[in-house]
Chain A
Amino acid sequence: MFPPPARFLLEEAPLPMSHLREPVKPGDLRGVRVLVVEDQWHVANALRSLLELEGMEVSGPAGKTADAHRLADEYKPELAVVDINLKGEMAYSLIDDLHDRGVRVVVISGYAVLPRLSAKVAAVLQKPFNGPELLASLRRALL
């Protein structure tokens, strides 16, 4: 077994994580509009490939909150996958805004995130995560 990850915590108290191992129905994300907000090109590209393969309509990736706001205005996403730390710019206000627009947000982060977000996000996935975990979180967010 691996030792527990030694991570710099922004906040000690963890958010409730999504139930990652539940079986999920295939195909129900097809045609769903999703916004990807991720500053790391490697991850952003992988996210976009995975979600497009699932038949989703992907906007982004946006690497800055200003771009994410613009894309949200333009494409009216139903879901958003948001990295909380965008090269040092924290995405809390973006998440507030997406929540207020009715967009269901799945936060992805290598760090623990502020508990105050728990009411405004559908799920939090801690990096590294895999494709089935992300897709399951998105499907649950739509329910």
Chain B
Amino acid sequence: MPNGSSILRLIDAVLKETQRQARGTEARRLLQHAIQRVAAISAAQGLLHDPDGVTRINCWDLLTAICLTVPLPMQDRVELLCESGAGDLASETAMPLGLIAKELITNAAKHGLAGRSKVTVRIGMRREAGGYVFTVEDDGPGFVLQPDHARSLGLGLVMALTRQLNGTFEVERGPGARCMVRFPDPRTLN
């Protein structure tokens, strides 16, 4: 039975070959996005798969690992702030949450700048009744979540991974964008 890493390497090879054969700039561009997403998933799997078999991970350890490794576009213009309450998560939630975090943080850094010289991105995790809420907010222009976003590669992936966590995804537009992923603690589901 192939493991996750070998499957990802296979997918990466298939996508690259398809991109090589693709005709048209748009098709190649979309395939390039897909290749980058697979690379991000591979990185997160390496980062967040615990070889020691630990079954719980502390919230602030997970956020520290994410903050230390998230690739930021134009990082000298992005201030990334992290806050977390106490709590521990099931390790099976760590990888999807890590991928969600990378997508939302990258999105916030990229779109929050919107012609400005600097953006502040704030990520946080806190407990609420029966589960957790993970938040990524920026002080940029904000956006309203539209049905079309489900088809975009970045937010589409966030929505798919949120469903995997049996969670919900919301975006509030205030002074900036505030993206919230609410998900239950698996220990409370049964």
Residues in A lying within 8 Å of B, measured CB to CB? 2-3, 5-8, 40-43, 45-47, 49-50, 108, 110, 127-132, 134
What's the nearest-Cβ distance from chain A to residue B7, in Å?
A: 21
Taking a contact as CB atoms under 8 Å apart, the answer to whether B124 and A2 are in contact is yes
Taking a contact as CB atoms under 8 Å apart, the answer to whether B69 and A129 are in contact is no
Q: Which chain B residues lie closer than 8 Å to A6 at the CB level?
A: 85-86
- 11 CB-based A-B contacts, threshold 8 Å: A2-B126, A5-B84, A8-B86, A40-B57, A43-B65, A43-B68, A46-B47, A127-B84, A128-B64, A130-B82, A131-B68
Taking a contact as CB atoms under 8 Å apart, the answer to whether B86 and A3 are in contact is no
Contact of A129 among B48, B51, B54, B64 (CB under 8 A): B64
Contact of A41 among B51, B58, B122 (CB under 8 A): B51
Additional 14 contacts, C-beta under 8 A, given A5-B83, A7-B85, A128-B63:
A3-B126, A5-B60, A43-B65, A49-B68, A49-B69, A50-B68, A50-B69, A127-B64, A127-B84, A128-B82, A128-B83, A129-B82, A130-B81, A131-B68
With an 8 A cutoff between CB atoms, is B42 at the interface? no
Q: How large is the interface on B (under 10, 10 to 19, 20 to 34, 35 or more residues)?
A: 20 to 34
* Chain B 24-69 residues near chain A, CB threshold 8 A: 46-48, 50-52, 54, 57-58, 60-69
Complexed CA–CA distance, A47 and B85 (Å) = 21
Q: Is the interface of B mostly helix, strand, loop or mixed?
A: mixed
Taking a contact as CB atoms under 8 Å apart, the answer to whether B48 and A42 are in contact is yes
Taking a contact as CB atoms under 8 Å apart, the answer to whether A42 and B94 are in contact is yes
With an 8 A cutoff between CB atoms, is B162 at the interface? no
- Contact flags B83-121 to A (C-beta < 8 A → 1, else 0): 111100000001000000000000000000000000000
Taking a contact as CB atoms under 8 Å apart, the answer to whether B47 and A42 are in contact is yes
With an 8 A cutoff between CB atoms, is B155 at the interface? no
What's the nearest-Cβ distance from chain A to residue B10, in Å?
A: 24
Interface centre among A3, A108, A130 (most CB of B within 10 A): A130
What's the nearest-Cβ distance from chain A to residue B30, in Å?
A: 29
Q: Which chain B residues lie closer than 8 Å to A131 at the CB level?
A: 67-68
Complexed CA–CA distance, A50 and B80 (Å) = 15
* Chain B 129-173 residues near chain A, CB threshold 8 A: 135
Q: Which chain A residues lie closer than 8 Å to B57 at the CB level?
A: 40, 42
Complexed CA–CA distance, A3 and B126 (Å) = 8
What's the nearest-Cβ distance from chain B to residue A45, in Å?
A: 6
Taking a contact as CB atoms under 8 Å apart, the answer to whether A46 and B60 are in contact is no
What's the nearest-Cβ distance from chain B to residue A128, in Å?
A: 4
Q: Which chain A residues lie closer than 8 Å to B94 at the CB level?
A: 42
